[in-house]
Amino acid sequence: MGVTLFPKEFYTPPRAWAERAFSKLVYWNQASKGGHFAAFEQPVIFAEEMRKFGRLFRGA
């Protein structure tokens, strides 16, 4: 499980809640800008976050 929090999202869960809900949480980051529609609002940031998460599994 990977999570990127965008600052203008409607709700930002605490990391501790996510860690309890998802035992295999391997990626957590807070983006500098963006909101609920991050892929449309900040496509470069969104794509880079997807790449960062994917790199964790490259060669695994």
Give the rounded percent of residues in the chain with a pLDDT score beyond 90.
Answer: 90
Average pLDDT of the segment spanning 29-47? 96
| pLDDT at residue 60 in the model | 58
Letter for the amino acid at 1? M
59 pLDDT above the threshold of 80: no
Q: Is the pTM of this model over 0.95?
A: no
| pLDDT at residue 54 in the model | 95
